[in-house]
A and B are shown apart, each in its own frame.
Chain A
Amino acid sequence: MNTPEEHLVYLYCVTTEPPELEGVGDRPDALYAVSEGGLHAVVCRVEAREFGESNLRRNLDDLGWLAVETTNHERVIEAVMRDHCVIPFRFATLFKTDDSLRLQLRAHGGQFRTLLEQLDDKAEWGVKAYCDFEKLEHDVRDEGSMVSSLDKAVCTASPGKAFLLRRKRQESAKTALADRAARYAEQIVETLQPISVQARTTEVVPQREAEGYGEMILNAAFLVCNGDARAFVDATNALGERYAGEGIFIECSGPWPPYNFCDPAKAAMDA
């Protein structure tokens, strides 16, 4: 176990060229590189008091601390990413010493180098879509679908039957809406995929509901060649304009470090 005086080594990212680190990062200790076999790991010495296992757990509950530290994590990686291709590591990836990190670099060097070649001159772009389900529900009903024919049947049915029909109506409305939202999500991915090298959809985040954007229906990440970035952003903007009247709101963010496209290295680590 770590005593409070001890230090840990915090790993941000790995790159193939020695990065310029002066003035990068907001932490008290300066960044430095741990190099091994042609790979350079960008690290910072942190106190175990702050990042040791039990203390880290407590700090993670503090949203203020978390906001500052995750922002720093991202800024450091983005600064390195400006001039170099990087493998971004997860927040709070910590080693006991430089030597233990070196061991990992030696053990996984091959995978890291292959991945860095694949990621070269590319960045991750995030695309999220939100659905205003009230607006969509209105449109679905106007289409003379099964839902609206059930609506008519409810009016003329006996009370008992009307109850059952109403329930059926609610069910079909829900399914129709979910289908429709899923179709929008598919269309967005299908449109953007050809402009990207790789596409990935991940779990939706309960994020914007409170802000009036509607419910998130798509949380996608695309690996895009830097030369295609403009075309990619233009395409998301065009999609946004096309769907705006239908209650679909599209948001594009980037360029991000390729957090979602490091699977080969991840798989090697887990093995």
Chain B
Amino acid sequence: MRSAIAVNKDVTLVELLDRVLDKGVTVSGDIVISVADVDLIYAGLRLLLSSVETMERLRGSAAEDAGRERAL
């Protein structure tokens, strides 16, 4: 069903968080964490990620996990 083309699949953690934390549907009601909480966390994260030091750290550890080519 989906296209066979995949481009730049070695995404950085920031790219992933930009979608997974900031976008996507959230439901209200019987849900444990509120939207506002995630928004706040994400805002804090953005600031954190803009510092060079964090980028270095990310590239060393997390980028390896998040950035591993996803076999899709």
Contacts and interface: CB of A to CB of B under 8 A. Distances in A.
B12 A207 contact: yes
A164 interface: no
B16 A63 contact: no
Contacts of A92: 33, 38
Interface in A158-208: 202, 205-207
B71 to A, nearest CB: 9
Contacts of A152: none
A90 to B, nearest CB: 4
Contacts of B29: 100, 103-104, 107
B28 A270 contact: yes
A42 interface: no
Interface string A36-51: 0000000000000001
From B2, B17, B21, B57, residue with most partner A Cβ within 10 Å: B2
A contact residues, range: 35 or more
From B30, B50, B52, B54, residue with most partner A Cβ within 10 Å: B30
Contact of A67 (B1, B3, B61, B72): B61
A149 interface: no
Contact of B72 (A79, A107, A270): A79
Contact of B26 (A67, A90, A100, A210): A90
A229 B65 contact: no
Contact of B32 (A8, A71, A209): A8
From A90, A251, A259, residue with most partner B Cβ within 10 Å: A90
Interface residues of B, number: 52
A82 B25 contact: no
Contact of A259 (B3, B5, B19, B46): B19
Contacts of B26: 89-90, 93, 266, 269
Interface in A203-231: 205-207, 209-211, 219, 226-227, 229-230
Contacts of B12: 207
Given A84-B1, A91-B24, A57 B66 contact: no
Given A53-B33, A233-B7, A70 B66 contact: yes
Interface of B: 1-3, 5-9, 11-33, 37-38, 41, 45-46, 49-50, 52, 54-58, 61-63, 65-66, 68, 70, 72
Given A53-B33, A91-B38, 7 more contacts: A79-B72, A87-B25, A88-B25, A90-B20, A104-B29, A206-B50, A257-B24
8 contacts: A8-B32, A11-B27, A81-B2, A82-B2, A93-B24, A207-B12, A211-B55, A269-B27
